Amino acid sequence: MSEHHKTMTFTLIVWRQKGPNDPGKFETYTANNITEHHSFLEMLDCVNEDLIKSGREPIVFDHDCREGICGMCSQVINGMPHGGEKRTTVCQLHMRTFKDGDTIYVEPWRARAFPVIKDLVVDRSALDKVVQAGAYISCHTGGVPDGNAILVPKGAADEAMDAAECIGCGACVAGCPNGAAMLFTGAKVSQYAVIPQGRAEASRRVKSLVTAMQECNFGNCSNHYECQASCPKGIDVKFIARMNREFIKAQFA
Amino acid sequence: MQFLKSSIGRKVLMAITGFSMFLFAITHLLGNSSIFGWLPGGINAYAHHLHSMPSPVIWGFRLVLLVFVCIHIWFGIQLTIENRAGGSQQYAVKAFQKVTFASDNMIWTGLLILAFILYHLAHFTFQVVSPETAALSNLDVSGNPNVMGMVVAAFQNIGITLVYAIAMVAIFLHLYHGIQSFFQTMGWNNDRTISAISGSGKLIAFAIFIGYLAIPLTILVRILK
């Protein structure tokens, strides 16, 4: 392979933590023979192969689909969730965006609501708890309804789909200086609030989601909009504004 | 009560009280600008006009402002403490893409403004900072407290002007983030309005900064005597 491709070498400074109660520390590794076509995760795979061969414990990280849609990969690379490339997850971040010889810091999501499980893997079940609090429609939907049986304006459908683009990776929380989950929760509230099927329970939903968010120890939003910049799906902070709006309206419902 | 316990509810209260103080800042600036002489009798006549209002109006207004200030500060400190405990400051490397100096330091510019308000009240309301030029003990030709004389004497002192200038920088930074933040927290924002709201918020913050700074600076360089 190296005959056909220019290869690169990187110095990785990676957060290693044996378990939730281990204080953890940074370890330095060298990634050799990396091509510009390697994704960031494939680069870590190469490093792990070397670690395993030399009898050391490989770096533990979350990953699944590796095509940017599942929301499992979760690393803060050089201080930016998913590495800071616009609308890109770690698995879709390619090594061509780095320069040969770069030193790269790799850290887990860090927030009070996301305790580290091991190395780069954090417990994101707090996001599930927010969803369980009511980010759904509570009626039985039955079989597939006739097309246009429920009229949904095109604008509302688009808006709901934009909000539903969230893959629940938690980058918004990781990027937020306050560890807030307002973008995630705002997207969940909005995706239902704008369409008729979800509208009926909008007040109840926004109240329980906001309560759940707080119970999970997420921080408070201070409108930095760092979340939108961190989001690999480009979820807009307008959904936070919509959640605030829905929450205020719900007080009078 | 759930509203007052929720982060959004507390932020809404901060937004409303903050925006009220912002409106006060504009009114206060318009009133103070009478020092430039557009009002017959200047700032002395303006001050006399304010103080000749019925005292329930004056004290009612002061009380409401005081309550608003207290709510804003109380929740501001509370939310900040919660955030410092829950945030991401533990990263070894953190490269913020959107956070600004203004948005990151709201608590510090806020506390600086609080300190300034206390000084400002002692200076021009209770007039205990420089009693020899106090307006209440120096009446002008029409028998009104000589506010003009007090203000001019104060800002001819470069130290006092500097204190005010630093405070105005804090107010500028606080409003730079605060004005747009109000609209977002109230939910009066979307992707089509956000850049206009944010942009005009920053412009208005700058205009207030320049407006307030104009008074001490023109006095310091002896344009206004």
Question: In CATH, what number is assigned to the domain containing residue A164?
Answer: 1.10.1060.10
CA distance B198 to chain A (A): 11
Q: Is residue A69 part of a domain?
A: yes
- Per cent of chain B over pLDDT 90 is 87
- Statement: residue B114 has pLDDT above 60: yes
Q: Which chain B residues have a beta carbon less than 8 Å from that of A210? A: 6-8
C-alpha B62: how far from chain center: 14
* ipTM for the whole complex: 0.93
A128 and A107 in one domain? no
- Statement: residue B125 has pLDDT above 80: yes
A149 and A64 in one domain? no
Q: What are phi and psi of B109, to 5 degrees?
A: -65, -35
Q: Which chain A residues have a beta carbon less than 8 Å from that of B98? A: 224-226, 228-229
Q: Is A181 on the interface with B (CB under 8 A)?
A: no
pLDDT band at B85 (very low <50, low <70, confident <90, very high): confident
A151 and A85 in one domain? no
- What is the pLDDT at residue A238? 98
Rg (CA), chain B: 20
Query: pLDDT tens track of chain A, all 253 residues?
Result: 445 678 999 999 999 999 999 999 999 999 999 999 999 999 999 999 999 999 999 999 999 999 999 999 999 999 999 999 999 999 999 999 999 999 999 999 999 999 999 999 999 999 999 999 999 999 887 888 888 888 999 999 999 999 999 999 999 999 999 999 999 999 999 999 999 999 999 999 999 999 999 999 999 999 999 999 999 999 999 999 999 999 999 999 8
- What is the pLDDT at residue A142? 80
A73 and A25 in one domain? yes
Which of A183, A244, A248 is the best mutation test for B, with the most CBs of B within 10 A?
Answer: A244
- What is the pLDDT at residue A3? 58
A246 and A136 in one domain? yes
Residue A238 is nearest to which of B93, B186, B194, comparing CB atoms? B194
CA distance B131 to chain A (A): 42
pLDDT band at B87 (very low <50, low <70, confident <90, very high): low
Q: Which residue has the tokens 């909000």?
A: A163
| B2-220 to CATH, choices 3.90.25, 1.20.1300, 2.30.30, 1.10.3470 | 1.20.1300
Size of interface A-B (CB pairs under 8 A): 144
Cβ contact, residue pair A222, B97, below 8 Å: no
**Per-residue pLDDT tens digits for B7-34:** 999 999 999 999 999 999 999 999 999 9
Q: Is B138 on the interface with A (CB under 8 A)?
A: no
**What pairs with residue A1 in β-bridges?**
none
- What is the pLDDT at residue B1? 60
Cβ contact, residue pair A177, B87, below 8 Å: yes
Which of B1, B2, B8, B105 is the best mutation test for A, with the most CBs of A within 10 A?
Answer: B8
**What pairs with residue A118 in β-bridges?**
A121
The answer to whether A113 and A173 are in contact (CB under 8 A) is yes
Q: Is B194 on the interface with A (CB under 8 A)?
A: yes
A171 and A74 in one domain? no
Among A95, A118, A141, the domain-final residue is A118
Q: Which chain A residues have a beta carbon less than 8 Å from that of B194? A: 237-238
Scanning B45-84 for CB atoms below 8 A from A yields: 79, 82-83
Angle at B210 between CA B208 and CA B214, to 5 degrees: 120
Q: Is residue A2 part of a domain?
A: no
Domain ranges of chain B: 2-220
Give the residue-averaged pLDDT of B118-132: 93
Among A74, A102, A118, the domain-final residue is A118
Residue B169's closest CA among B111, B219, B113?
Answer: B113
Secondary structure letter of residue A146 according to DSSP: P
d(CA B108, CA B142): 43
Residue A232's closest CA among A65, A116, A15?
Answer: A65
B36, B44, B56 from B223: Cα distances, Å: 10, 18, 38
Q: What are phi and psi of A14, to 5 degrees?
A: -115, 140
Q: Which two tokens stand for residue B4?
A: 């007052």
- What is the pLDDT at residue A125? 98
Q: Which residue has the tokens 């600036």?
A: B29
Which of B98, B179, B180 is the best mutation test for A, with the most CBs of A within 10 A?
Answer: B98
The answer to whether B216 and B165 are in contact (CB under 8 A) is yes
Residue B191 is nearest to which of A218, A224, A236, comparing CB atoms? A236
d(CA B190, CA A240): 9
Per-residue HEC secondary structure of chain B comes to CHHHHCHHHHHHHHHHHHHHHHHHHHHHHHHHHHHHCCCCCHHHHHHHHHHCCCHHHHHHHHHHHHHHHHHHHHHHHHHHHHHHHHCCCCCCCCCCCCCCHHHHCHHHHHHHHHHHHHHHHHHHHCCCCCHHHCHHHCECCCCCECHHHHHHHHHCCHHHHHHHHHHHHHHHHHHHHHHHHHHHHHCCCCCCCHHHHHHHHHHHHHHHHHHHHHHHHHHHCCCCC
**Per-residue pLDDT tens digits for B177-212:** 999 999 999 999 999 999 999 999 999 999 999 999
| The total number of structural domains that make up chain A | 2
Q: Is residue A194 part of a domain?
A: yes
Domain that holds residue A244: 124-250
A100 and A189 in one domain? no
A177, A209, A240, B82 from B87: Cα distances, Å: 5, 20, 18, 9
A160 and A46 in one domain? no
Q: Which two tokens stand for residue A195?
A: 């369409």
Q: Given phi > 0 = left and psi -120 to 50 = alpha, else beta, which region is A75? A: beta
- What is the pLDDT at residue B196? 98
Cβ contact, residue pair A242, B185, below 8 Å: no
- What is the pLDDT at residue B89? 56
CA distance B8 to chain A (A): 7
Q: Is residue A3 part of a domain?
A: no
CATH code at position A21: 3.10.20.30
Q: Is residue A28 part of a domain?
A: yes
pLDDT band at B86 (very low <50, low <70, confident <90, very high): low
Half-sphere exposure at residue A147, Cβ-oriented, CA atoms within 13 angstroms:
0
B9, B65, B185 from B4: Cα distances, Å: 5, 20, 14
A112 and A131 in one domain? no
Q: Is residue A1 part of a domain?
A: no
**What pairs with residue A76 in β-bridges?**
A81, A107
